């Protein structure tokens, strides 16, 4: 007869194994610079069948917003569930561990509760990978040759020449000084480019981790500049048929501090160094952006197909998230880094097994910081008390419910600081942006008179934005005195002006609306010194 203690141990370990098998896996897909320019979001010209299929089997959030419209702070905010002000993050390269060292990140929470956490590609930003705390193992590296972005010899020669020039002139190659063409479509296989390799590694990781439970982060770089993808994805589109922006001019009555001169784009070759981008070049840029979206869609399709093949789909939560929006000529801007709807609204799709809302769209306003408490709840993990987001599981069960009343975002002085959200280096000013900055400063001086001072506007002025069901209101304030009269105010009525083409903040009939939203921003978002 078997030992009763042995039988008890067998029962215990069997129960533990069943419990582990039932714990849902998480596949978190982050896509850089992806606005909701997808078939499922109504962009009929975009070929994105795999992401569209994911949306058709999950919940698509139609009004999802980031808290900071550039890569680093946006990702840090989402992965900690905290607003940028709480994290004390202003620049793209500020590491959240330097400002809030004890914070528990989203993957760290899963790791603490027995999940194997791993990632490939860009999940956190740059070197802020947080390997020791968040991940069971470090990222599996892709081929360095693919990481160089460009595959064509002509493109590589441009980068080399610019690098040599920067070294000769400044003794170092600072960020942005050695950029190449704005786009490239080499006749190469998918994994000649880094995002194709990311998909290769992600597929291999799923096979390795299939025993679960796992949290796998997969981060794609495109459609970030440069817009590089295999030629076959460019061939999906006829650039002559692609739509240009329906709102190509700056909003009427908008302050100049709210927009920028497309600094990031201007560092690339093949585009004007200043002034408007002509229609022909605009179509080429939109063509290249669309090609990159289709390229990433194909990689997402490969990963989801592997999830199906391994029999993991029924027990895996899948999230697809864009880290911020991107202007494709909207408001005369090419790039990210604005508080406008185009800059802050993102695609967000959640497919969680067993949710009654799957296959439907949710019109509720949601924020990136809501993902942390949502995934914790779906996995039955105890969420940290300090989280500032909202659990979206009720919406996943019933996408018609209202959700929260507003979304917040913030960004400092795009007119002067778009590049990485920090003051531009002297080398960047001299090499690329001198005339652009001079024009911006002249306009700011005209608008603000003696109140304008470069150091103040560069170092201390910030835009705080609130998006409600009907309105977007943005206050531009000196953070040293946030309760003083704002330097500028923007108000857009999405009921009558969904593209934000007219700033109506100064209209007498909007006094009550502006006062109400100003009060809420000052109470709930603006951090006082």
Distance CA 423, CA 411 (A): 13
The secondary element (H helix, E strand) that includes residue 347 is: strand 345-351
Q: Residue 248 in contact with residue 330, Cβ under 8 Å?
A: yes
Assign 325 to helix, strand or coil: coil
Q: Residue 375 in contact with residue 319, Cβ under 8 Å?
A: yes
Catalytic residues: 71, 125
Count the neighbouring beta carbons within 10 Å of the beta carbon of residue 446: 10
Contacts of 37 (CB under 8 A, 6+ apart): 43, 46, 289, 290, 293, 328
Contacts of 295 (CB under 8 A, 6+ apart): 190, 193, 195, 196, 222, 229, 230, 233
Q: Residue 188 in contact with residue 235, Cβ under 8 Å?
A: no
Residue keyed to tokens 């998918």: 190
The secondary element (H helix, E strand) that includes residue 406 is: strand 406-411
Q: Residue 480 in contact with residue 505, Cβ under 8 Å?
A: no
CA distances from 483 to 117, 294, 506, 521 (A): 43, 46, 19, 11
Assign 438 to helix, strand or coil: helix
DSSP states of 65-76 as a string? E-SSSSHHHHHH
Q: Residue 215 in contact with residue 115, Cβ under 8 Å?
A: yes
Ramachandran assignment for 515, one of left (phi > 0), alpha (psi -120 to 50 degrees), beta (any other):
alpha
Distance CA 411, CA 421 (A): 8
CA distances from 432 to 263, 299, 328 (A): 8, 34, 21
DSSP states of 274-306 as a string? SSPPPHHHHHHHHHHHHHHHHHHHHHHHHHHHH
Distance CA 298, CA 300 (A): 5
Q: Residue 347 in contact with residue 36, Cβ under 8 Å?
A: yes
Contacts of 184 (CB under 8 A, 6+ apart): 149, 150, 151, 152, 155, 226, 227, 228
Burial of 391 from C-beta contacts in 10 A (0-12 / 13-18 / 19+): middle
Distance CA 115, CA 467 (A): 36
Q: Where are the beta strands (DSSP E) in 70-125?
A: 116-121
């Amino acid at each position: 007869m078997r030992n009763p203690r042995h039988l008890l141990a067998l029962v215990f370990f069997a129960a533990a194994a069943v419990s582990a098998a039932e714990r849902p896996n998480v596949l978190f897909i982050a896509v850089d610079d992806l606005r909701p320019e997808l078939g499922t979001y109504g962009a009929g010209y975009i070929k994105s069948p795999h992401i569209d299929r994911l949306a058709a089997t999950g919940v698509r959030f139609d009004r999802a917003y980031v808290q900071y419209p550039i890569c680093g702070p946006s990702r840090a905010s989402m992965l900690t569930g905290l607003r940028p002000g709480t994290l004390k993050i202003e620049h793209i390269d500020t590491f959240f561990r330097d400002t809030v060292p004890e914070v528990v990140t989203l993957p760290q929470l899963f790791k603490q509760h027995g999940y194997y956490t791993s990632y490939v590609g860009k999940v956190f930003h740059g070197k802020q990978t947080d390997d020791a705390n968040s991940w069971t193992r470090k990222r599996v590296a892709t081929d360095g040759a693919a990481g160089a972005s460009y595959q064509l010899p002509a493109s590589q020669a441009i980068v080399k020449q610019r690098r040599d020039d920067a070294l000769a002139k400044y003794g170092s190659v600072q960020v942005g000084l050695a950029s190449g063409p704005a786009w490239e479509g080499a006749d190469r296989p998918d994994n000649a480019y880094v995002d194709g390799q990311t998909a290769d590694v992600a597929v291999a990781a799923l096979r390795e981790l299939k025993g679960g439970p796992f949290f796998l982060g997969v981060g794609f770089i495109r459609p970030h500049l440069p817009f590089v993808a295999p030629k076959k994805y460019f061939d999906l589109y006829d650039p002559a048929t692609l739509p240009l922006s329906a709102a190509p001019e700056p909003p009427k009555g908008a302050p100049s501090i709210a927009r920028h001169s497309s600094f990031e784009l201007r560092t690339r070759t093949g585009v004007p160094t200043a002034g408007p981008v002509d229609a022909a070049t605009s179509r080429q840029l939109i063509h290249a952006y669309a090609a990159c979206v289709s390229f990433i869609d194909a990689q997402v399709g490969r990963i989801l197909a592997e999830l199906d093949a391994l029999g993991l789909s029924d027990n895996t939560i899948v999230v697809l998230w864009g880290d911020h929006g991107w202007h494709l000529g909207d408001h005369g801007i090419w790039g990210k880094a604005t508080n406008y709807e185009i800059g802050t609204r993102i695609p967000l799709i959640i497919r969680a097994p067993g949710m009654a809302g799957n296959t439907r769209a949710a019109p509720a306003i949601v924020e990136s910081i809501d993902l942390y408490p949502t995934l914790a709840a779906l996995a039955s993990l105890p969420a940290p008390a300090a989280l500032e987001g909202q659990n979206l599981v009720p919406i996943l069960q019933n996408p018609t419910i209202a959700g929260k009343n507003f979304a917040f975002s913030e960004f400092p002085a795009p007119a002067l600081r778009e590049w990485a959200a920090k003051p531009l280096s002297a080398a960047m000013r001299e090499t690329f942006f001198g005339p652009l900055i001079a024009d911006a400063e002249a306009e700011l001086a005209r608008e603000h008179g003696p109140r304008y001072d470069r150091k103040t506007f560069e170092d201390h002025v910030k835009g705080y934005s609130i998006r409600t069901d009907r309105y977007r209101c943005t206050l531009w304030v000196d953070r040293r005195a946030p309760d003083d009269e704002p330097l500028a105010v923007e108000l857009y009525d999405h009921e009558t002006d969904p593209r934000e083409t007219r700033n109506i903040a100064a209209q007498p009939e909007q006094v009550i609306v502006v006062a109400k939203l100003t009060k809420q921003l000052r109470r709930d978002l603006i951090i006082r010194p």
